[in-house]
Structure 1
Amino acid sequence: MEQLGGYRLVALLGEGGMGRVHLGRAASGRLVAVKTVHEHLAADPQFRERFRREAAAARSVAGPFTAAVLDADPAAVRPWLATEFCTGPTLTGAVSALGPLASGELAALGAALAEAIAAVHAAGLVHRDLKPSNIVVTRDGPMVIDFGIARTSAEESLTDSGEIVGSPGFIAPELLTGAGEPGPAVDVFALGALLAYAGTGRPPFGTGAVHQVLYRTMHGSADLDGLEEVPGAREGATGWRDLLGSCLSQEPGDRPTVAEVLTACAAWTDGDPWWEREAVAGLIRRREDEVAALVANAPGKTAAGPTDPAADPAADPAADVSDDEPGGEPAHDTRAPGTTVVGRSPATTVAPGAGADTVVSRGASRRRFLRWGGVALAGGSAIGAVAWLASLTGRDGEDDGPNSPPSYTLGRALWTRDIGKASPFRHGDALYLAGADGLIRLDARTGTVGWIYPAEDITDVVPGRQLIHVLRVTGLFSSEIVALDAETGVEKWSTGEVRHNPRRPLELRRPDAPADGDRAEFSVSADLLCLVTHTRYATMWERRTGGNRPWRAYGYDPRTGDPLWFHQGGESEVVGLHQAGGRIAVASARSSLSDESEEGEPLAVLRVADGTVEREIPGGSRYLEAHPGSRGARCYATGGRLRSVDLATRRTRWSRALSEEQTDATITPTAAAGLVHSATYDTLRALDAETGRTRWSLKDIGWPVDRGSPTVSGGLVYGLGRAPEGEETANGRPDWGVHARNAATGALVWAAETGDAESVVVGAGGEGADNSGLVHVSADGTLSTYTAPEPS
């Protein structure tokens, strides 16, 4: 194994314009990132001197959220530098997987990054390239990497080469004009852009061609729509829009100092740090497992267990071949056969091409890896490409052999209560029951009743941290939203019936004016509560009796219920609403969208600010979330195919056909740890979110198609399956109970005998409480709550 400066180079992590980054190990066993310089740069004496000077300066950076430089040798034949090894997703990956940060979460991130930048500035450096991909989220917090290290001479001069230091969308205007030496204000600008990205899920100066982004940076204004307000802030008080807007000022002197940003963010933090919450912690654990696998499978390591599938009687290279892969390729790469894990749980097929034949280095558990001391790496973003993720078992300790039954334990039953026909749903620590008699809030862990809101005609509920918004639709063609205090259930305000809304045109407020439809939908964001009334259009009878009424949209302030605007749409039924990026999309239909055709009604995109139509997307109602305000990707199961769609461009990223047995498949809309999960009533699959390829597949476990897509939470995917012992059921359906399985591998973690469930609700947990992993199962009017077994 190659050595450099006393470090053993374990694996190549990545390569860039300056050199290569290797995973290395010190003599003490500590894992480090070793960066080596390309030969043509090493031959430049000026570059070597700059490398020496900046490496020495960077070693003086001392901050809790910076990846420390440990050692360097600028005089070596191949100059190198060693830094801490930060294990975790990049901020880009975390936001893509989990969505924009709430106000308190954003404040914790901002305070940590401001501390890191202050440490860089205290060492006499300016980062100059602060961006989401240069932030690694670790169990100890966000770590800033690559600060001011070895800029080439070409990077120093805009006028000499036409190149600039920084990344489009995060680079300060003065760096684009070359006006003076870059100072600390350029990092404040980048910090503002980075926090705007984390709070909205999109870059503040948009995306597209580089010259377009740079032009908007120089001449446009930052897009800060969608930022969550600071809880408890007085009207007119400074909030996120003011703080980040000032950070993104064109003039450096108009920007706040790093200390001022730190003070503001520290005052707005709320609860535990963002990176300690389970959703983020799950992503970090995944990266730790990947690094453990990378170390264990490095040259010189021997995998424990069979690597020849012919020696494994459980291997089944022909499994799951009925699915079409993108581009017409078969589901399995014939270069490597699959590996099937069998035992008391249903068989799991791990797709080859995911490194399945090297699975078996199971001793490389995350716990053992942490004992090795590898808890930190600049360059941790490269770890996300490790292909062995699908082969990890999620189990600590040594494997019992290829044919031994995987162990599992039964979940613990916590409480049971009769709920009749009420529908359960979770939000934070609370479990809500919405039924004909009103809305009930329960403590999710104990089942204790918190409060009861007795009201009829409740058709929808959107819970929040402070307010619960309840939609009531009466039989008199009128609708209203009622806001309840989340802690007490006391009514705070009501919008009143829409027919009395003062924003309606005068001709619609007359007694003889056409009434609104007898159905309604609503959507809530930090900026807008939107209520849409409509009439069913699915059948000719409904169209005639409904009078071909148009849909009507009402905008309200979500904090006070004050009416803001009114808009009247076309004659059609509304099938969905979606808010993102300062827009609200309204999907409509004159017939069912569940048919096999690709045609659909137009998608109307309204501006949140005033309700005016920004644009109509022909046939866009089939993909409700794909509109100009959205970013990222989303998966759909329509027209006999599974698709991943780029929401900003509406382009299909990948598509795979479903067999006749799978046409009722559902799919998780967004990725978790790089995977999406698809299910029919008797099959559960994990697909690579980037390519759509099968990573693993389970038979005799699924999710009834009328109960939504699989639920993924805390690194587990939940489904209904047979008894883990494999016993047949009387009706042939996998309805023994709930399985909690490792989302990355399909390995059974725990199970509970619940019977054929009508609904399964999984909680992600609330702030400051240990309510994650609770599973609420509704069957025959009874709600039962289970949780994972006690750790042994």
Structure 2
Amino acid sequence: MASVPLTAGDPVRVGRYRLLARLGQGGMGRVYLGRSPGGRAVAVKVVRDALLRDEGFRRRFVREVEAARRVTGFFTAAVVDADPEGNPAWLATEYVPGLSLQDAVAQHGVWRQQAVRGLGAALAEALAAVHAADLVHRDLKPSNVLLAPDGPRVIDFGISAAAGDTALTETGVVIGTSGFIPPEQLRHEAAGTAGDVFALGAVLAYAATGTGPFGNGASHAVNYRVVHEDPDLRGLAPALADVVARCLAKDPGERPTVAWLLDELGHPDPAADDDRHARQGTPASDGGVATVGWMPGPVVDSATRLRAEVPTEPLPRAGDGTPEPPPAAAPPRSRRRRLRTALAAATALAVTVTGTVLWKVAASEDDAGPSSPPNVEQLWSHTLAEGQKLTVASEEMVYLQHEDRHEITALDVTDGSQRWARRVEVADVREDSDYLKDLGNGIEVTTVSGGLLYYGSSDHLYAVDADSGDYRWRYKDDSFHPAPIAVGDAAYAHMTAFFYVLDTRTGDELWDYAYDTNVSDDVAVTGDAVLVHSGKKLIAVDTRTHKEKWTHQAASDAETAPVVADGKVYFGTRDGALYAVDARSGDEVWRRNFEGELWDGRLGGGAGEPEVVDGTVYFENDGYVSAFDAGTGRPLWQKKQEAEELTAMTVVDGTVLVHDSEGYLSALDARSGKPSWREPLDVGGDADFRIVGNTVFIELNGRLTAYRAAT
């Protein structure tokens, strides 16, 4: 993993640790290389502000830090310091300079049987330490095994939870990485220490063959094989294959214990004949750190070299050799060059908090100036006040809110100039309501629709003119704060079990409708119907008669919002299918499955909302982008993206723009699906993201920056 220089938005010190470089980011925040006053290198993870505003998360974080401190053992990375209740909250762990098992196999090839057995014994000892602390790791995989000169370390207990803690085992949530997640966890059954044994077996198969025992490909396909098919262990020696097969048993009760594995793998196999292929370790020449005899020689050499290359001072900024950070608003192309010229040593880190750390440096052309216009061009950048944040955007304006100051600001999309800013009205908190006292009277902007900007405060919904900010009306919504959809003079405010319709001119309630069951938050409104999902059922409520108009029963629960275009309703379901339903009758027009017989809806990733443009339906599922003929459902093309998850997709001017979970923006040709370009946009930070047309808004490090994407 590459270290890169600190930027203007990064702290220079956290707690008592001086920060030297940025190592990457994960779902919980950024990770830095730091040094203690005494010179000890540590990995410091700083939790993102947005998470800390969630009191439930902060409590879980405090709990997991306490649990992580209990993990001790030679083959685990220790927590050395933490301030889980600080502002910001952070945690420091032992820094492990070395390459991951994943990188080691990619760079130096697969391991011989005795080396794999030695690795297995070390990992079993690490898991014994984790389990002794009443924890379950839940994400053991090759990238979470770091190889130092003195042996491996198991890192990232971040999605571990104390046994019996249900905070991370909500219905429908699967934690882990495809191919290493045990089948019982994929089936949403109880997952305990036996799940870690399953993952250990998959890791050993990876070390011996270079691939997981259930193959590669889309996550849903790998998950399907984990649940339904036998592992492929043909590349393993017989004795090792027997141990791995036991670990990979479908029934967790049939898997061996960690103690059995430690005893079985902790000594050489007399039948093995490949000891001569693994170089015996010798004392390192950089201070006497002993190497591990069973690790392949080239791996030990790489780990030793990386240990010597750990920086002791802040990394210099590319270009002038000074440690000061570059401007925060540097456009993506300049930023990509800065990353490429940063220190390229593949240092790895030990992190024991939530989230897998990801950092990907984009490959690019030489530093010579581009011969064509940039794919992503910065339009403007706006400094945000403390407490101010991005909320919603329209084609003309982007809106900021300051919750506590009760302020809303509108900026022009084209140049970032301020169109209006004002302190808006709020509802008084009733003294007789403990609930409202806890809720307070801050503001929450929910949406912009039909020329009105909506926000909630206390137990009221407010509407202001989106162009001027002028007050229009308020409605007592009992603190639910919906995001109304305006159609003509009616605003449809949708809740979990009902919706009500307001007059957009006065705020008066026109009528309401209560469902017989709870429904999803996703809703669509046509001229004569409100469309919403309840599990497998699509329900249409007639806006004229105020009665149920029709229902459509799908084969699986809905996964996306309904989208209406050209008289049809399009939506994706959990089993991977894309549906087209007649908007007038509810009759199914066509249905297309995502991956045919291989797809198992319980195991696949989530689908994104379809988009219909010029007679084509564009649909994203499990990292694939597909195009179908809107009238017939005929498949036109399908492309797998580099990232596992896509966070936004839009179609504009013959181009499909896709933003992914790694912080990249990509462009595909809308007719063929052929990739045009992929640029880093917000890979280096905890960013909030919006896209309207081909304008992209990024809130990062106290600035809001607008970019124009080439189409």
Fold conserved (TM > 0.5)? no
TM-score, structure 2 as length reference = 0.41
Which has more helix, going by share of residues?
1
